[in-house]
A = this chain, B = another copy of it.
Amino acid sequence: MAKEKKLVESITSREEDFAQWYTDVVREAKLCDYSGVKGCLNYLPNGYAIWENIQADLDRRFKETGVQNVYLPVLIPESLLQREKDHIEGFAPEVAWVTHGGLEPLQERFCIRPTSETLFCDHWSKTVQSHRDLPKVWNQWCSVLRWEKTTRPFLRSREFLWQEGHTIHATYEEAEERTITMLNVYKDFVQDDLAIPLVTGRKTESEKFAGAQDTYTIEALMHDGKALQSGTSHFFGNTFADAFDIKYADKNNELHSVYETSWGLSTRIIGAIIMVHGDDSGLVLPPRIAPIQTRVIPVAQHKEGVLDKATELMNSLKAAGYRVGIDDSDKGPGWKFSEQEMLGIPTRIEIGPKDIENNQVVVVRRDTREKIIVSMDEIETKLGDILETIQKDMFDRAKAFLDSHISSATTIEEMNEKFNTNRGFIKAMWCGEEACEEEIKAATGGATSRCIPEEQECLSDKCVFCGKPAKHMVYWGKAY
């Protein structure tokens, strides 16, 4: 019992200190730790396995929309990064510079990619000639580096893993459609596979990507009421095409600039999974993305036949296509249960002498701790049903939490009060002025515009802060 306690007690409760709870869960579930390079993470097996499942699911969704994967260099020449004015202004302060190759100084500095628009554009400017070369719908899975001052596991680190998609098209409409298609791929993936409900929309001028004409975002709400930008899709118009001179000849041999998009989702999303679903016992992983969906735990495993039966069960579940583990270590059942809960494995299957006698097992749900007695003959199909139910219930609970943490305000005082009492997202009207956005941030102690949703409501005719005519309804939030 001492050991059991130790495992759970090593996690601070969410209500006591959410930030500490987060750090404790990341550490105890062995998802990642800090490396010897300040601000850079080691992604450990338990954390990386989640990322591998995210990659597999998302990559499949990408390819269904015609995406092709590529890999472009980790280094960008300084002159190339400088080609697009807004882009270099946005990224120059936070890139790492390579100045020496081998024993010799370089003639030109290279930065480690913070994002790769410039490299894709450079390639296309040299290879795209005709409308027959279009569209290009490319993506790469890689890491990028941004020299952040303060870092937190998954949420903000100097190096992080992501995918970055880059596309060019013959027409404005086609590029715009791709931007929205990818936003929807992210939305479907995050809602369906990660069970995280979202608020989505367009970013304001001040919040959009360096060099973009429009940035679309998916925004999730963490258990502490803070927002997390979880994926973005950018429409560039001709900005980069013009900066890099990417032109194609149409059927009449007339030259036109291409239209470009880019879109990315990173390991940051693992932070969202932790902070949306986790509880005071640790991680709670959605079944569709969990590296292990069930762990078989033999009870009284020293008794004859128990271990054999447990192993047999594991093998039959594996053969049926489940991702299964077994804990046949010499630790006590209580410790084993705690560990399975800490790791967020969606179910455990307890099997002891009594169960074997009754030709049954006990399935315990991680999310609700409900115990479900299942006949051994039915476990192969029933487990699938239980996992699907967990997936659905996790989404529904998170959706109820999100809905109850969206409120609206027509004055800045009301906005402040809602942030204090109800946290979450606040809908409020906005005049469209950047200066006003800054004022709202100052007046609320840090609330930023999260997005302008497609479905607009008219909460008032006036801007929540300055009282001038309102242009948009905006979701505001305090964000990670």
Contacts and interface: CB of A to CB of B under 8 A. Distances in A.
B36 A80 contact: yes
Interface string A409-431: 00000000000000000000000
A42 interface: yes
Interface string A321-354: 0000000000000000000000000000000000
Contacts of A40: 73-75
A35 B74 CA distance: 11
Contact of A71 (B48, B77, B95): B48
Contacts of A99: 97-100
Residue from A41, A75, A77, A119 whose CB has the most chain B CB atoms within 10 Å: A75
Given A35-B123, A112-B112, A119-B35, A70 B44 contact: yes
Contact of A42 (B42, B72, B98): B72
Given A42-B123, A45-B70, A112-B112, A93 B98 contact: no
Nearest to A30: B127
A209 B319 CA distance: 40
Contacts of A77: 36-37
A2 interface: no
A73 B123 contact: no
Interface in A46-79: 48-49, 51-52, 68-77
Contact of A48 (B36, B70, B98, B123): B70
Given A37-B76, A75-B40, A119-B35, A112 B94 contact: no
Interface in A114-140: 119, 122-123, 127, 138
A96 interface: yes
Contact of A49 (B45, B69, B92): B69
A110 interface: yes
Given A37-B77, A49-B68, A70-B43, A96 B103 contact: no
A112 B74 contact: yes
Contacts of A48: 68-71
Contacts of A145: 74-75
A159 interface: yes
A82 interface: no
Nearest to A120: B42
Contacts of A80: 36
A36 B119 contact: yes
Contact of A161 (B45, B68, B71): B71
A172 interface: no
Given A42-B72, A43-B71, A92-B103, 17 more contacts: A35-B123, A36-B80, A37-B110, A43-B72, A45-B68, A45-B138, A48-B69, A48-B70, A48-B71, A49-B68, A74-B112, A74-B145, A75-B159, A98-B99, A98-B112, A99-B100, A142-B143
- 7 residue pairs, one from A and one from B, having the closest CB atoms: A45-B68, A40-B73, A97-B100, A43-B71, A102-B147, A101-B147, A99-B99
29 contacts: A33-B123, A33-B127, A35-B122, A35-B123, A36-B119, A37-B76, A37-B77, A37-B110, A40-B74, A40-B75, A42-B70, A42-B71, A45-B138, A48-B70, A49-B68, A49-B69, A71-B143, A71-B161, A73-B159, A74-B74, A74-B112, A74-B143, A92-B103, A93-B103, A96-B100, A96-B101, A98-B99, A99-B100, A112-B112
